[in-house]
């Protein structure tokens, strides 16, 4: 649809599109207002007064810090695993044609295509059948599994744009396989990997459904929030944590977009 | 070796000697046998996904053929179809029907809300606006799922912003009349099916916008012009030209909205009535009830439904629009 440059949209369409976008954004903006409210017991609107005291209260809560630290550690290790597995898979699938190639793509996408509850309960029943106790590593196991697809999508898109003749040229000029990887392949895919890694981090940092099945007694930030949502104890603290979570996930997405914006494929479309 | 006079610096031999050491040997081996390299590259991801994921899925499937001993509460590890029989009880069929109806309604509503956004972004937005539209869809998509639900709990609460807005506009009676309706109503919006429905549409909407936009981007603008040149009204152009061409995108988006609604158990738990959805049934069966076989049988329902759905979607060419 490129031929109608300069033509203006009908008013009704403009209004419908604007309303749709407002519908998507206003609820998130509302979180920012509630983080400053003086009201403790209910969600009353408009806020009776504004205060910044809840930021200090939240800062001094050890349970929030513990959840945050666990979430960051899980996301970091899951992202690292996903980066290695996703890149290997993308390199294999994009460079060669082999029997079962379509099956491999399906296998990578499946953990995110099936509802999270299926992944979660499947992992849990496997843990219980194999008598594996819940730990930090059971969380990582689940997260890394569905983070692979994000890295894979970004890397596959970049591999497709990278011409194979560059690798052949490098080999012709006498570089061995490892040198070619280090000096030719890696610089080419680096930004795609960084973008994929950021998105994988954001995905893991935010994941709750699979985590409820694989975490046992430990609390990541989303699990902490879920507890507060079901049994509210400290509404103002929850408001502040919600606002911080929005900001923390916003930055990697904007950065990932910036890294891949001139590409044909777009980061994040694989969530 | 003779050196050509016109190329005085070409002293290197045509074939380089093999580079020495472990590294060189490995590199040469991979060059000679690309299949080996391919195998080594594929092995880690395939092993991981095969063992961790597919293995777990089979473990789950196997459990659905076990049964629970009603007296001791222990799981009897012998093949039986009794658990699937339990699944067909009226209460459980009710849960399945409720979830599928909700998923279908959410899908239709998201398609209706998504279309204008996708159409504007594909046809009219240019340059900076295009980027803005893209981020405008991408940021809500990636914002924290729980924070989004939390935001709606704030909005739909009885003392929240929506009630306030209705009161300001002097139409509070409208909200109260709606809440008094039998199935969709409730004490407040945050404990009604209407609330559940709104939050589902909100949370999955970006998953619908992106594929519809991708499908609309591929519709040549002159098709729309040709249609109006031939005398079609905007409504006719939409029905006979745009909609059929956008349909694969809508079906692709509906895969997400439908599948995600089928499996979700957090949204109906936080915003909704006490009547269960499939996800909640699975969660409570495996958790408090300890009936893992029935929970496993319940998860087979969305898998089967999605299997048929994907088969139908593939026949409509939806996968090309992804």
pLDDT tens readout for residues A126-175: 888 888 888 889 999 999 988 998 898 888 888 877 777 888 888 888 78
The answer to whether B321 contacts chain A (CB < 8 Å) is: no
* Amino acid B14: pLDDT: 60
Q: Do B52 and A202 touch (CB under 8 A)?
A: no
Taking CA–CA distances from A230, the nearest residue in chain B reads B270
Instruction: Give burial (CB, 10 Å; 0-12/13-18/19+) of A172.
Output: exposed
**Is-contact A209 A117, C-beta < 8 A?**
yes
Taking CA–CA distances from B303, the nearest residue in chain A reads A114
**Is-contact A149 A108, C-beta < 8 A?**
yes
- Chain A residue numbers with beta carbons less than 8 Å from the beta carbon of B136 are 21, 24-25
- Bridge-based pairing of strands B67-68 and B75-76 is antiparallel
Look-up of token digits 């998509």: B141
Look-up of token digits 């093949």: B79
- Chain A residue numbers with beta carbons less than 8 Å from the beta carbon of B45 are 85-86, 88-89, 104, 108, 148
* Amino acid B320: pLDDT: 61
Spatial separation of the C-alpha atoms in residues B274 and B252, rounded to whole Å: 32
pLDDT in tens, chain B (322 residues): 444 444 445 555 666 665 667 777 788 788 777 788 888 888 888 888 888 888 888 888 888 888 877 777 677 777 888 888 888 888 889 999 999 999 999 999 999 999 999 999 888 888 788 888 888 888 888 888 888 998 998 888 888 888 888 888 888 888 888 888 888 878 888 888 999 999 999 999 998 998 898 888 888 888 888 888 898 888 888 888 888 888 888 988 888 888 889 888 899 988 888 888 988 888 888 877 778 888 888 888 888 888 888 888 877 766 665 5
pLDDT grade, residue A121 (50/70/90)?
confident
Q: What's the CA angle centered on A61, arms A55 and A67, to 5 degrees? A: 105
Phi, psi torsion values for B8, nearest 5 degrees: -65, -25
- The reported pTM is 0.83
The answer to whether B137 contacts chain A (CB < 8 Å) is: yes
Best mutation target, A35, A87, A92, A226, to test chain B (most B CBs within 10 A) = A92
Taking CA–CA distances from B159, the nearest residue in chain A reads A44
Q: Out of B41, B133, B135, whose CB is closest to A92? A: B41
**Is-contact A111 A146, C-beta < 8 A?**
yes
The answer to whether B243 contacts chain A (CB < 8 Å) is: no
* Amino acid A267: pLDDT: 44
Q: In angstroms, how far is CA B258 from the centroid of its own chain?
A: 7
Q: Out of A116, A141, A229, whose CB is closest to B52? A: A141
Instruction: Give burial (CB, 10 Å; 0-12/13-18/19+) of B8.
Output: exposed
Spatial separation of the C-alpha atoms in residues A169 and A181, rounded to whole Å: 12
Q: Do B159 and A4 touch (CB under 8 A)?
A: no
List every span in chain B annotated with CATH 1.10.3720.10.
82-321
Q: Out of B142, B149, B202, whose CB is closest to A271? A: B142
Cβ count within 10 A of residue B6:
6
Q: Do B160 and A8 touch (CB under 8 A)?
A: no
Residues 24-63 of B with CB under 8 A from A: 24, 26-28, 30-31, 34, 37-38, 41-42, 44-46, 48-50, 52-57, 59-60, 63
Q: Do B143 and A28 touch (CB under 8 A)?
A: yes
* Amino acid B21: pLDDT: 74
A60-115 pLDDT, tens digit per residue, is 888 888 989 999 999 999 999 999 999 998 888 877 777 777 778 778 878 877 77
The helix or strand, by DSSP H or E, that contains position B76, with its residue range, turns out to be strand B75-76
Q: Higher model confidence: residue A268 or residue B235?
A: B235
Q: What's the CA angle centered on A196, arms B251 and A23, to 5 degrees? A: 50
Helix B193-217 to helix B127-142 angle (10° resolution) is 140
Which CATH topology does A55-260 take?
A: MetI-like fold (1.10.3720)
Q: Do A42 and B159 touch (CB under 8 A)?
A: yes
Does 3.90.1170.50 match the CATH number of domain B82-321? no
Token pair of A258 as six digits: 């910036």
Q: Do B19 and A229 touch (CB under 8 A)?
A: no
Q: Do B150 and A202 touch (CB under 8 A)?
A: no
Question: What are the domain boundaries of chain A?
Answer: 55-260
Spatial separation of the C-alpha atoms in residues B216 and B247, rounded to whole Å: 9
The answer to whether B100 contacts chain A (CB < 8 Å) is: no
Least confident of A240-249, A258-267, B119-128, B165-174: A258-267
């Amino acid at each position: 649809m490129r031929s109608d440059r300069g033509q203006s949209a009908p008013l009704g369409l403009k209004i419908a599109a604007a309303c749709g976008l407002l519908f998507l954004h206003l609820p998130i903006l509302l979180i920012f207002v509630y983080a400053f409210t003086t009201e403790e017991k209910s969600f009353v609107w408009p806020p009776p007064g504004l205060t910044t005291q809840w930021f200090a209260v939240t800062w001094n809560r050890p349970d929030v810090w513990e959840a945050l630290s666990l979430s960051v550690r899980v996301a970091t290790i899951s992202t690292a695993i996903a980066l290695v597995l996703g890149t290997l898979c993308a390199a294999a699938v994009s460079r060669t044609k082999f029997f079962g190639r379509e099956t491999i793509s399906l296998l990578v996408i499946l953990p995110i295509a099936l509802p999270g509850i299926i992944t979660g309960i499947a992992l849990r029943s496997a843990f219980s059948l194999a008598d594996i106790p819940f730990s930090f590593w059971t969380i990582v196991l689940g997260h890394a599994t569905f983070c692979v697809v994000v890295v894979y999508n970004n890397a596959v898109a970049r591999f497709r744009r990278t011409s194979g003749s560059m690798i052949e040229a490098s080999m012709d000029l006498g570089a061995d396989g490892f040198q070619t990887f280090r000096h030719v392949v890696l610089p080419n895919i680096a930004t795609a990997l960084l973008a994929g890694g950021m998105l994988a981090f954001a995905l893991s940092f935010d994941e709750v459904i699979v985590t409820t099945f694989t975490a046992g007694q430990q609390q990541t930030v989303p699990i902490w929030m879920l507890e507060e949502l079901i049994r509210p104890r400290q509404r103002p603290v929850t408001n502040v944590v919600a606002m911080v979570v929005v900001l923390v996930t916003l930055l990697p997405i904007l950065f990932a977009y910036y890294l891949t914006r001139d590409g044909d494929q777009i980061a994040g479309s694989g969530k | 070796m003779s050196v050509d006079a016109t190329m005085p610096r070409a002293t290197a031999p045509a074939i380089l000697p093999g580079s020495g050491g472990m590294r060189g040997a490995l590199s040469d081996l991979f060059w000679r046998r690309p299949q080996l390299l391919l195998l080594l590259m594929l092995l880690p991801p395939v092993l991981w996904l095969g063992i961790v994921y597919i293995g777990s899925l089979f473990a789950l499937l196997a459990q659905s053929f076990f049964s629970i001993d009603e007296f001791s509460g222990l799981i009897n590890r012998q093949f039986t179809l009794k658990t699937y029989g339990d699944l067909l009880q009226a209460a459980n069929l009710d849960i399945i029907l409720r979830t599928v109806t909700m998923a279908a309604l959410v899908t239709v509503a998201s398609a209706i809300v998504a279309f204008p956004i996708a159409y504007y972004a594909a046809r009219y937005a240019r340059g900076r606006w295009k980027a803005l539209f893209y981020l405008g869809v991408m940021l809500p998509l990636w914002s924290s799922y729980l924070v989004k639900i939390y935001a709606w709990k704030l909005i739909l609460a009885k003392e929240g912003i929506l009630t306030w807005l209705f009161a300001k506009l002097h139409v509070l009676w409208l909200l109260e009349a709606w809440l008094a309706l039998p199935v969709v109503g409730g004490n407040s919006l945050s404990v009604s099916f209407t609330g559940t429905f709104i939050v589902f549409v909100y949370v999955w909407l970006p998953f619908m916008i992106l594929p519809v936009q991708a499908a609309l981007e591929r519709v040549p603008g002159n098709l729309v012009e040709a249609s109006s040149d031939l005398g079609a009204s905007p409504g006719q152009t939409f029905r006979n030209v745009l909609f059929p061409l956008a349909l694969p995108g809508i079906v692709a988006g509906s895969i997400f909205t439908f599948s995600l609604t089928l499996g979700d158990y957090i949204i109906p738990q936080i915003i909704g009535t006490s009547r269960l959805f499939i996800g909640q049934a699975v969660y409570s069966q495996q958790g408090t009830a300890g009936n893992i076989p029935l929970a496993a049988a319940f998860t087979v329902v969305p898998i089967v439904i999605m299997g048929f759905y994907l088969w139908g979607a593939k026949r409509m060419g939806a996968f090309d629009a992804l």
